[in-house]
Amino acid sequence: MDLKKYESKINRVTSLDKLNELEVRFLGRNGEINKLLSEIENIPDEQKKTYGQKINQLKSSMYRYIETKKKELQNKKSDVFFDKTLPGKIYPKGSLHIISNAIEEITKIFEKIGFIRVSYPEVDWEYGAFESLNMPSGHPARDDVETSFIESAPHPRFGKMVLTPHTSNGQNREMRRVGAPPIRMINISKCYRPNWDTTHTPMFHQFEGLCVDREITIANLKGTLDYFAEKYFGKGTKTRLRPHHFQFTEPSFEVDISCNVCGGKRMGCKVCKSGWLELGGTGMVHPNVLKEGGIDHKKYSGWAFGCGIERVIMMKYGLDDIRNYYSGDIRFLEQF
């Protein structure tokens, strides 16, 4: 019960750790003060009140004393020599994800030739993903694009909601946004298709180019693809167009780039087998797509292409498993 006794103990302490220890020992839940308080049972009734008051006084004085001591110790200069000239600790820095870097790089390449980067909804109406792209409901081509539907009441004109299976849903939206050509769009967004293997993840990214103006031809398309291939994959990379079919382009192509591992020579190349690697889909915008976007297809023409971001990175660095992008393994990501 003697404050002096406690005071001298607190006074002798020279470190914050020791002071904390004492605080717990005196004032903690199972500390000495609480023990004294619990003895109140054994005190005769008429003395209980004064006893309680005394203990509480002791408690608050001790509390104040400890706080003062704490401040004193905190302000005390350390006796340990601190060498300010030593280099600091270097903590690892975070960085942008490989996909984000590629998006930035691709955006810059297209912005340089006057394209405008946009990002359209990743959840859209069937109209955006199909109807506006010359794929009326019930058309078998819609089955080629495996699509995840959102459970929702269908819109009377735009149909059900879907997780966009490609960035082509941006075509109609961009035509409507710009109003009258020229249009130079680079739309980069997430896309969704229910696949999961070494070259497919259910969520992936595409970049979609759209160019609409007077007298736009396949030559402009080829020139733009050549420009992109050289800038992104390196000098000397060639492109070629192979006939294909898409509902929203006519004529349609698949575009390949020359393999930069074997330089297109193919002999025994494990990466390409044929000297070429598939980049994506492309073609001249179908007149019905222009019409649906409110554009006079007699006055204007255009081209469009769509490529996977994950895919072009794999081609650039010769990666063989797309799932690495999303596994969260820092050792993989740090390499780029």
- Residues in the interface with ligand PHE (CB under 6 A) total 12
DSSP string over 202-245: SEEEEEEEEEEETT--HHHHHHHHHHHHHHHH-TT--EEEEEEE
Nearest-approach distance from CB 323 to ligand PHE, in angstroms: 20
Q: Which one of 219-227, 293-301, 304-312, 321-329 is the stretch in contact with ligand PHE (CB under 6 A)?
A: 304-312
Nearest-approach distance from CB 294 to ligand PHE, in angstroms: 19
- Site residues for ligand PHE, 144-163, by CB under 6 A, read none
Q: Which is nearer to ligand PHE, 66 or 191 (CB)?
A: 191
C-beta of residue 278 within 8 angstroms of C-beta of residue 297: no
Extended strands (E) in the chain = 116-118, 123-125, 148-155, 159-163, 183-192, 203-213, 239-246, 249-258, 276-285, 301-308
Please report, for residues 86, 142, 237, 334, the alpha-carbon distance to residue 91 in angstroms, rounded to integers and kept in the order given.
Answer: 15, 51, 39, 15
Q: β-strands 183-192, 148-155: how paired? A: unpaired
Nearest-approach distance from CB 267 to ligand PHE, in angstroms: 30
Q: Is residue 184 close enough to count as binding ligand PHE by CB under 6 A?
A: no
Query: In this chain, which of 166, 173, 184, 286 binds ligand PHE, going by CB under 6 A?
Result: 166
Q: Is residue 305 close enough to count as binding ligand PHE by CB under 6 A?
A: yes
Neighbours of 308 (CB within 10 A): 23
Q: Which residues pair with 163 in a beta bridge?
A: 123, 148
Q: Which one of 6-14, 51-59, 153-161, 279-287 is the stretch in contact with ligand PHE (CB under 6 A)?
A: 279-287
3-state helix, strand, coil in the chain (%, to 5): 40, 25, 35
Phi, psi of 257 (to 5 degrees): -115, 155
Nearest-approach distance from CB 211 to ligand PHE, in angstroms: 11
Q: Which one of 118-126, 213-221, 225-233, 275-283 is the stretch in contact with ligand PHE (CB under 6 A)?
A: 275-283
- Site residues for ligand PHE, 229-268, by CB under 6 A, read 246, 249
- Site residues for ligand PHE, 10-49, by CB under 6 A, read none
Tokens of 4: 């002096």
Q: Is residue 282 close enough to count as binding ligand PHE by CB under 6 A?
A: yes
Q: Which residues of 183-209 are buried (b: 16+ CB within 10 A; e: fewer)?
A: bbbbbbbbbbbeeeeeeebeebbbbbb
- Site residues for ligand PHE, 77-96, by CB under 6 A, read none
Neighbours of 129 (CB within 10 A): 27
Q: Which is nearer to ligand PHE, 223 or 236 (CB)?
A: 223
Q: Which is nearer to ligand PHE, 264 or 306 (CB)?
A: 306
Q: Which is nearer to ligand PHE, 168 or 258 (CB)?
A: 168
Q: Which residues of 19-29 are buried (b: 16+ CB within 10 A; e: fewer)?
A: beebbeebeee
User: Helix, strand, or coil here: 51?
Assistant: helix
Q: Which one of 31-39, 64-72, 96-104, 277-285 is the stretch in contact with ligand PHE (CB under 6 A)?
A: 277-285
Nearest-approach distance from CB 305 to ligand PHE, in angstroms: 5
Query: In this chain, which of 304, 314, 315, 322 binds ligand PHE, going by CB under 6 A?
Result: 304
Query: In this chain, which of 159, 181, 264, 281 binds ligand PHE, going by CB under 6 A?
Result: 281
Q: Which is nearer to ligand PHE, 237 or 282 (CB)?
A: 282
Nearest-approach distance from CB 174 to ligand PHE, in angstroms: 12
Q: Is residue 283 close enough to count as binding ligand PHE by CB under 6 A?
A: yes
DSSP string over 182-204: -EEEEEEEEEE-S--BTTB-SEE
Residues lying near ligand PHE in the complex (CB under 6 A) are found at 166, 168, 208, 246, 249, 280-283, 304-306
